[in-house]
Chains A and B, each alone.
Chain A
Amino acid sequence: MRSLLAILTATTILVPAVAGAATVYPLDRATILTASPFDVKVEFDGVVAGSDVTVTINGKPAAEVLGKEATFIEKEDGVEASAVRLEGVTIAEPGTYTVVAKAGDDEKTVTWEVYGTSAEPKAKNVIFLIADGLSVAHRTAARIMSKGMTEGKANGRLNMDDLDRMAFIGTSSTESVATDSANTMSAYMTGHKSAVNALGVYADRTADPFDDPKVETLVEALRRQTSKSVGIVTTSELQDATPAALFAHTRRRAEKAAINTQIFDLKPEVILGGGSAYFLPQSVAGSKRKDDTDHIEGFKEAGYTLATTKGELEAAAGSNTGKVLGLFHTGNMDTTLDREFLKKGTVEKFPEQPGLVDMTKAAIDQLSKNAEGFVLIVEAANVDKMSHPLDWDRAVVDTIEFDKAIGVAREFAEKNPDTLIVVTGDHTHGVSIIGTVDDEKPGDQMREKVGTYAEAGFPNYVDSNGDGYPDSVDVSRRLFLAANNGPDHYETFRPKLDGPFVPAIQDENKKYIANEAYKDVPGAVFVEGNIPRDGDTGVHAVDDVVLQATGPGSENFKGYMEQSDVYRVLADVLALGAAQKK
């Protein structure tokens, strides 16, 4: 009898590892906030009979535990297999929940951890600042470029350098060791990891990008449990993956028109960024919608003050509704380097774009009018958008601007100590600083002018007006940042003063080849790519992200954490497990 039991146990343990076993969403080891609505889906490997299907939770029928009947789908759209779904269920009691889904031999067991939070909030306000793609090299370069360095010690500190607590964040996706902004920001904002390109859902096997099992986002949880105001500030399109992760539920981050509708439905009090093209009806030139919906009119009717320039944003500060829609570009906003210094990119067309600092100030001014507190998400999008094309000067100058926005948040928190500040990235890039490029070094080839080790010395950026930005990035001895991956391209060893770098472009075989526009830059060398030829730019690194925090609850950020664990800290600090609506 004893040996028979051992065999049975062994068989049972092996079941989840058998290829083709059922999949249960939320996935094994999911962490779920108490009373937070989520969808459950079981995907069986083949077509099964509904009468054979059982789904139990801690030994009881799922319907009994979750309070809803499951729907059985014999054949899913485009899939020769069955599924079970339960939509918008909740679990009120914290604890460990073991889910067993069975249909004949197809069986899967997963365990969920349902967590509660403090009954009382630890912080009234949360300001979550994220630089997309923020890597250690970006920080180091921003510090050296902005503050300078003498005899090996930094001449000054960044605002992010003095945040109290720190954690290393793992960013991998449910289907891949690598990640993108959608998956990672979605994990930060829901507590559930997901797949590349997915927002607010587990990515299921069907083709429909809107039918995937949903999880609750931070903004939805705030609306459900609190009377706090919510703000989003970004230099990208507001429908881009990072800001979209606050609102959206879709498998495909590219569904930007639909995402804008989801933003409209949730109506965050302060919305500042680019991407007006998705607010405009298709009949207006510049629109990227495929319907006649006019979200700008809709927001106006909902009592929002509209701002389309830096000046209008300043004027909106005088409004008393606490609701501002600021749209400053049809697409992504320009980089700080282009906006403030070079006047390249699309600055000629949109000359009055505010920067991240202006937008962060305006957002805090408006949101802090709510006596119940607020949650503000600030994204420096161009750190990533300029790191992909290996345009390091633009990425670093935007990191400096990001740090100034952190300064604005810290200033507010000094006067309002019941504010938690979190500063992080969503993934890293494969970039490091390896020294300097010194035009004065002897040699005909630019690579001979790369200084490594003792030859690197220190760069000679000057900040004569003390604004924190170097007067010029085009100095004779500049930081040399190099990517460890990328497509075929020409390395010019110089800042791209004519506009953002476009390293590679597609040929007739859909392969990316080096952009010949840079071939004749003096000293340019051809760098053969090391990623597949269907990649157009450098890619995200799998390296951990550094997260820093200060304020109440920040002590919970420590050691190594998954990006989905970050949400649990936010939920606890805001006591999202407790209803606080007044």
Chain B
Amino acid sequence: MIYTAPDRRQALAMIGAAALCLSARPARSAPSPISFNELYGKVSVLGLTFSDKVKALEGKPVAMRGFMAPPLKAEANFFVLTEIPMALCPFCSSDADWPDDIIVVYLDRAQTFEQANATIEVSGKLEVGSWTDPDTGFVSLLRIVNADFRRV
């Protein structure tokens, strides 16, 4: 199901699953679940290397659970998914120390903020390789794109 703002959630829930999700992606195969501790094969001070699982799933649909870090704007088309709830917006605080385990999520369209307290599941295509966000200058090497998410 595609996530919608909490106040409209119940109303749209009735039509959401059937109408929106299925019509938008009729041919989508079931995403492979992947967790934060499966992202990197080797973690070291001199850099991280992606796991074999990440390499195998590159370009394929994945599903990943985590928490939405407080985003830059109330409504945005991308956010950072973290393993644990994050206290700080990684983009706006002058003193934000990002956790090492994050993945950038690019949504199909701008959506509203999810409670940082809530576990969400993101589904989309896993993209590997350097990409500089033209709006924020944020460089990511690992992303879930064409994504949607739902509260677990």
Q: How many Å from the CB of B127 to the closest CB on chain A?
A: 13
Does B124 interact with chain A (Cβ within 8 Å)?
Answer: no
- We find that the number of chain B residues with CB closer than 8 angstroms to chain A is 37
- CB under 8 Å from chain B, chain A span 173-202: 197
Q: Is the CB of A285 within 8 A of B40?
A: yes
Q: Is the CB of B117 within 8 A of A515?
A: yes
Interface stretch among B21-29, B89-97, B144-152? B89-97
With contact pairs A502-B85, A517-B85 given, residues A346 and B100 touching in the complex (Cβ less than 8 Å): yes
Closest-by-CB residue of B relative to A516 is B117
Q: Is the CB of A331 within 8 A of B100?
A: yes
In the bound assembly, the distance between CA atoms of A467 and B98 in angstroms comes to 33
Chain B 56-79, CB-CB to A under 8 Å as 1, else 0, gives 000000000000001000100000
B residues near A286, Cβ cutoff 8 Å: 43, 47-48, 100
- Residue of B43, B97, B117 touching A350 (CB-CB under 8 A): B43
Q: How many Å from the CB of A45 to the closest CB on chain B?
A: 27
B residues near A284, Cβ cutoff 8 Å: 46-48
Q: Is the CB of B94 within 8 A of A536?
A: no
Does A296 interact with chain B (Cβ within 8 Å)?
Answer: yes
Does B15 interact with chain A (Cβ within 8 Å)?
Answer: no
- Residue of B70, B74, B85, B97 touching A237 (CB-CB under 8 A): B97
A residues near B49, Cβ cutoff 8 Å: 285
Q: Is the CB of A506 within 8 A of B112?
A: no
> For the complex, would chain B's binding face be called helix, strand, loop or mixed by DSSP majority?
loop
- Residue of A276, A282, A537 touching B46 (CB-CB under 8 A): A276
With contact pairs A252-B94, A282-B139 given, residues A296 and B100 touching in the complex (Cβ less than 8 Å): no
Does B116 interact with chain A (Cβ within 8 Å)?
Answer: yes
Q: Is the CB of B45 within 8 A of A502?
A: no
Q: Is the CB of A308 within 8 A of B130?
A: no
Does B87 interact with chain A (Cβ within 8 Å)?
Answer: yes
In the bound assembly, the distance between CA atoms of A542 and B112 in angstroms comes to 39
In the bound assembly, the distance between CA atoms of A9 and B47 in angstroms comes to 66
Closest-by-CB residue of B relative to A352 is B45
In the bound assembly, the distance between CA atoms of A516 and B139 in angstroms comes to 32
Chain B 96-131, CB-CB to A under 8 Å as 1, else 0, gives 111110000000000011111100000000000010
Does A507 interact with chain B (Cβ within 8 Å)?
Answer: yes
Q: Is the CB of B45 within 8 A of A536?
A: no
With contact pairs A276-B46, A346-B100, A350-B43 given, residues A506 and B130 touching in the complex (Cβ less than 8 Å): no
Q: Is the CB of B45 within 8 A of A327?
A: yes
Closest-by-CB residue of A relative to B86 is A505
Does B2 interact with chain A (Cβ within 8 Å)?
Answer: no
With contact pairs A254-B94, A536-B87 given, residues A296 and B46 touching in the complex (Cβ less than 8 Å): yes
Q: Is the CB of B116 within 8 A of A507?
A: yes
Q: Is the CB of B116 within 8 A of A350?
A: no
Does A504 interact with chain B (Cβ within 8 Å)?
Answer: yes
Does A568 interact with chain B (Cβ within 8 Å)?
Answer: no
- Residue of A197, A253, A285, A350 touching B47 (CB-CB under 8 A): A285
Closest-by-CB residue of A relative to B44 is A308
Q: Is the CB of B45 within 8 A of A276?
A: yes
Q: A280-B47, A282-B130 are in contact. List 6 more A-B contacts (CB 8 A).
A: A285-B49, A285-B50, A290-B137, A507-B117, A515-B117, A537-B87
Sampled A-B contacts (25; CB under 8 Å): A252-B94, A253-B95, A254-B95, A280-B47, A282-B130, A283-B130, A285-B40, A285-B48, A285-B49, A285-B50, A285-B141, A285-B142, A286-B47, A286-B100, A287-B47, A287-B139, A329-B45, A330-B100, A502-B84, A505-B85, A505-B116, A506-B116, A507-B115, A515-B117, A536-B87
